[in-house]
Amino acid sequence: QVQLVESGGGLVQAGGSLRLSCTASGSIFSIGTMGWYRQAPGKQRELVATITSGGNTNYADSLKGRFTISRDNAKNTVYLQMNSLIPEDTAVYYCNAAVSTTVLPRVANYWGQGTQVTVSS
């Protein structure tokens, strides 16, 4: 199976920065698109950003310019650099990856357990 483990969340003051990391491990054959999503209390989970294995990125329009997604394919890791944080960024941030494993010859979506980001005003 595949596990995604996020780290880097925490409490930060408005205007501050955080860097989230997510590393995939397990019976991995290849990883396609990786991404970050977030879910605030009482709201639906929403896209933050995605990045393909080739480095093409896609962002939620409202987050362009403040958040940057990147990845290290050799480490099976995706990062999310978050700058100029505002209280509205408070949410649980989830990592997602499209992975084909050495066990099953198909791509499946995997999710991390989530990491809490809290931005105080």
DSSP 8-state assignment for residue 88: G
Q: What distance in Å separates the CA atoms of residue 41 and residue 50, rounded to the nearest whole number?
A: 22
Kindly state the percentage of the chain with pLDDT values over 90: 94
Residues 49-77 have a mean pLDDT of 96
* Confidence label for 104 from pLDDT (cuts 50, 70 and 90): confident
Q: What distance in Å separates the CA atoms of residue 110 and residue 80, rounded to the nearest whole number?
A: 17
Q: What is the pLDDT of residue 103?
A: 86
- 17-56 residue pLDDT tens: 999 999 999 999 999 999 999 999 999 999 999 999 999 9
Q: What is the pLDDT of residue 87?
A: 97
DSSP SS3 for 45: coil
Has residue 96 got a pLDDT over 90? yes
CB 29 within 8 A of CB 4: no
